[in-house]
Amino acid sequence: MAKYADIAVKGSVENIQNLALQAFTSNGFTIQWDGPTKGKAEKGSKGANILLGAMAQHHSVTFEIYPATEGGTLRLIKVGSGATGGLLGMRKVNKQFDQLTDTLSAWFKQQGLLLNVKKE
C-alpha cells in the first residue's frame, strides 16, 4: 500500500494551497498549517479511534507542497498504520488514504490543473 502520493498540478504554490484547502475542507477535514507549504489534515475523533478501533472514523494525513517549473506537487503522507484497529483498521487506513488521493486528484482534474498522480 502507498505510504505517500504525489499529485502534480499546474499553477502557483498559492493557488495549490487554496485549492488543497478547499478540497480538504469540502471533504470534512480540518487543516492545521505548519508553515506556508505544509500542514496536517484531520477528520473525525482520535479518542474514538482508540476506543473503537476499526469502527471509528478518524483519518489523518500530512501534506506538503513542492514548487516545480510547471506548477507544483502536493504530497500526501499517510499518518499511522491503523494497527490500533487490528487488521481491519490497517485495511481501512490504506483504503481511506487511497480514496483521499483519488478525491483530491479528481478535484484538481475538475479544475483542469491535474498533471499526474504517483503513489509510492
For 47, the domain range is 4-119
More confident residue, 58 or 22: 22
| CB atoms near residue 96 (< 10 Å) | 19
Q: Count up the domains in the chain and report the number.
A: 1
- 96's CB contacts (< 8 A; 6+ apart) are 59
| CATH number of domain containing 60 | 3.30.310.80
pLDDT of residue 48: 45
Indicate the pTM of the whole model. Answer: 0.82
pLDDT at 105 over 50: yes
Digit-coded pLDDT (tens) for 57-99: 667 899 999 998 889 999 999 886 554 555 555 677 788 889 9
The share of the chain scoring above pLDDT 70, in percent, equals 78
* Angle at 87 (CA atoms; ends 79, 84), nearest 5 degrees: 50
